[in-house]
Structure 1
Amino acid sequence: MQSAEAKMNRNCLLMALRGYSVAVRNMEQTVLLPSLLREVALDQDQDQDQGQGQGGEAAEGSCKDLYECYHMLKAIRNMAESGLALPDECKAMSHQALSKTLEPLLEADPEVLFDFHLKGLFSVLNNLAKTSQRLTSQYMEIIGIAN
């Protein structure tokens, strides 16, 4: 029998994943011409205006422009929904570097480790959803539709 707390955490995780998935689906339905996003930088002023600081920098830092960010957000959503990740040499190298920096955590108590990863997953999903929403807003500005 599951405890109430475990059931609540699972529902919260599903809600966070669903929120990200909905944000990306909305982005896909809004962005009819992704090529308009080429060479357009992601507007970071919205985060700072809303007092959120630099929360989405990791997602945005890996993208050269909105077009690349658009495809990254879709790929991550597809991996999260299907549970499959395509092998890629570049990704494998970054995973190896990351695992070396996280080695001390691997020896931690499993409950602490789970909590650490769960908080990280919530943070990543929220940042990706916000990035998707900002990308959608910027696309609407590009094509001349006011929010």
Structure 2
Amino acid sequence: MMQISESYNQKNSLFNAMNRFIGAVNNMDQTVMVPSLLRDVPLDDAEDPKAESPANGGAYFHQDADMYSSYVLLKSIRNDMEWGVLQGEKVGAAEVDEDDLEKQFHFHLKGLHTVLSKLTCKANTLTTRYKEEIGCGN
């Protein structure tokens, strides 16, 4: 029974969510041989059952974005995750309530996990849509 619990927790770890996202973007990048074909192809999240509508406040990307801009954004996020981002101004120790650090950590961890799951889904959807556009199916 311990194996099942550990396996489930590992599956939902931030590290694994990051790996799934990076893997999906790598797959997308290897599949999309001619990114310019994605220009002016509208995003069609209606086919994506996990996509949230803008009315719910959960749109993945700007409403007017095309598949090309989504492709570029997903690659940019992957690069930031792999190589890091420049640090902005550091928050002074006096500005952060030490008792609240664990609560803040869990809040941001949950948010990051949710965003990574949505971005992974978007990368997989874009890959599938590209294959459909060029006539590869499957």
TM-score (norm 2): 0.75
Report the CA distance shift for 1:53/1:65 in structure 2 as closer, same or farther (over 3 A).
closer
1: CA distance, partners of 2:17 / 2:44: 23
Gap regions ≥5 residues in structure 1: 88-105
Q: Which residue of 1 aligns with 2:43?
A: 42
* Deviation of the 1:146 alpha carbon: 1.1
Find the counterpart in structure 2 of residue 117 from structure 1.
108
Percent of residue pairs identical? 42
Aligned amino acid, residue 37 of structure 2 = L
2:93 aligned residue: none
Structure 2: gaps spanning 5 or more residues: 1-5, 89-95
CA contact (8 A) 2:60 2:118 kept: yes
Where in structure 2 are the equivalents of 1:1-147 lying within 5 Å?
12-48=13-49, 52-54=50-52, 57-61=58-62, 64-85=65-86, 109-147=100-138
Deviation at 1:55, TM superposition (A): 7.6
RMSD across aligned positions (CA)? 2.7
3-state DSSP of counterpart to 2:60: helix
